[in-house]
Amino acid sequence: MSKRIPGVTIGIVFYNEQERISKCLSALLLAYRFYLRTSPSVPIEFIFADNGSVDLSPRVVEEFCRKNDLPYTLYFSETNNMARSRNQILLLSKHQYLLFIDADCCPQESWISKYLEMAGKLQGERWAALGGENFPPLSESETFYQCQRLLKKNPLLFLNSTQLLSPDKNQNVWHVPTCNVLYRAEVLQDLGGFHDSFVRVGEDLQLSARLIQNGWKIIFIQGVAVEHFDRTDFKGWFLKCLRYGSVQPRILFSYPTATSRLRWIPFLLIITLCLLFSLTPLVAGLGVLAMSLLVPVFVSVLNRNFKNILPWIIFLNGTIISYCLGYIFGSCKTVLPLLKLQSAKTINETD
């Protein structure tokens, strides 16, 4: 491994985040000052990557950093490729740790300090990534965020590993998203960083699978949560779910033993529905209609949340449908090229 100097690089990739990035910057400043007051053991730097924003996001970042004397670098990417920008941050960083957060997230005040404290405690462990929870903003009362909170409380409905865990203990997981994760930069560098074929989503999940396949641990830790000011409209959320679903098959087929088994659930659901509709279309249709109403109601009763039941029904069903459609699309993109390759190979062998 190539040696890096002790320290932490905080990486933020953004694209047209003028409306939300100020909250992130203010929270990062508080976390940075808290760290300097309490345990300034290693240097901290900030590297921002602008993915071709056409709004005032870069100006907001520069003005904020200069005003508050933050040690920062602003990199301008030529493409809106998330993986390439993360790799550029990895390349520009010379520090031992790389701490990623999304531009629409707000960390807690002790965020940096707790990450470094835990990294110190795990000296000697073969870990490559530490990550924590990300949750919808508690201060926001919007219907959309209430639906998100309800979704993330239910493991089988939300297939993100960090949302399935109790926040009061540390444990090994399959994946932690890059909206809140600390990497050992040397490990990422030796693995070649993020795969830039994952342009907008999935680059972190694919990296997690590669880390596990190479024998590295990914650890969920308590006390490093971030508020995630995600999409605030149903259309944007469903499109996001569609994109996330579309990259899952490629990762699952490539790393079947290095990803969570929960991520196979959409496949089982799709196959079951296809079989039911082919055998008894009327009964299957009525069954799906009944389940689309009963499951959201059951989840509401289970969590004692009876507000906004109609938006919640729309939100949950739309999320499941979007993910499944993404899985179908992603499966076709993954399997068809393999079939063509196998067919060409067979023809060549015959000749």
Domain architecture of the chain: domains with CATH: 5-148+159-232 (3.90.550.10), 261-350 (no CATH)
Residue type, 187: V
- pLDDT for res 1: 45
pTM value is: 0.89
User: Phi/psi of residue 188, each to 5°?
Assistant: -60, -40
Q: Report pLDDT digits (tens) over 57-71.
A: 999 999 999 999 999
Q: Express each pLDDT in 29-47 by its tens digit.
A: 999 999 999 988 899 999 9
pLDDT number for residue 341: 46
Q: What is the pLDDT of residues 77-132, one digit of tens each?
A: 988 899 999 999 999 999 999 999 999 999 999 999 999 999 999 988 899 999 99
Q: Which residues of the chain have pLDDT under 50?
A: 1, 341-351
Phi, psi of 250 (to 5 degrees): -60, -40
